[in-house]
Homo-oligomer: A and B are copies of this chain.
Amino acid sequence: MSGALKRFLPLFDRVLVQRATPITKTKAGILIPEASQKKELTATVVAVGPGARTETGGTVAPAVQVGDEVFLPEFGGTKIMLEDKEYFLYRDSDFLAKFKPE
């Protein structure tokens, strides 16, 4: 894990994810032009904030943890560049689902 990523502590209910690399070839090895590559909606959680803050200052534990594979909404997420690598920052309530580990 890069230095900047290790030091990156999302705040509140924010969660940093790294998107799965999109499929660029068909099973038969044919290159898929970028325009028709499906937008990759699964990602891995790489950093998690402490959780949302309640009105009275309490904290609500996040629903995901580092290493979880999550299903992203089609829109939303803030692009974050850390040492030239691309990550995305979501709120934990944005995620549609997570996948049980294989």
Residues of A within 8 A of B (CB): 4, 6-12, 14, 16, 47, 49, 51, 53-61, 63-64, 71, 73-74, 78, 80, 89, 93, 95-102
Residues of B within 8 A of A54 (CB): 55-57
CA distance A49 to B14 in the complex (A): 20
What's the minimum C-beta distance from A60 to chain B, rounded to whole angstroms? 4
Residues of B within 8 A of A78 (CB): 73-74, 96
Number of copies: 7
Residues of B within 8 A of A89 (CB): 96-97
27 A-B contact pairs sorted by A residue (CB < 8 Å)? A6-B100, A7-B101, A8-B71, A8-B97, A8-B99, A9-B97, A9-B98, A9-B99, A11-B63, A11-B93, A11-B96, A12-B63, A12-B93, A14-B96, A16-B97, A47-B97, A49-B97, A53-B63, A53-B93, A54-B55, A56-B60, A57-B60, A71-B80, A74-B78, A78-B96, A80-B96, A89-B97
